Amino acid sequence: MTTHASASTEMIVALARELRRLAKAEDDRAAAEAAEVPYWVPCPSSVLGARAAAQALRADAERLDAAWCSRPLAS
């Protein structure tokens, strides 16, 4: 039997994992696009946007982790 608390914990862990997966995908996309541009050409704004998105996704995952870790144990 799954308790509400364990289901909630599983959901938070899964959500944080998905946020990190999406962040990695954004980083990979940015790296691939940046690799196609000569070093003397300014970085395309789409690369900067993908890097910013990855950073925001990781920050959200960190906030989820912090909120989950600071929760009191089930009473």
Domain presence at residue 74: no
Domain presence at residue 53: yes
- The model's pTM is 0.81
Domain presence at residue 60: yes
**Range scoring the smallest mean pLDDT among 4-8, 19-23, 53-57:** 4-8
pLDDT digit string, tens, across residues 18-50: 999 999 999 999 999 999 999 999 999 999 999
For 42, the token pair is 């300014």
Average pLDDT, the chain: 88
What's the CA gap between 27 and 13, in Å, rounded?
A: 21
Domain presence at residue 46: yes
Domain presence at residue 47: yes
Structural domain harbouring 24: 4-66
Q: What's the distance, CA 52 to chain centroid?
A: 11
DSSP H helices, the chain, are: 4-35, 45-69
Res 8: pLDDT: 84
**Domain count within the chain:** 1
CB 64 within 8 A of CB 19: yes
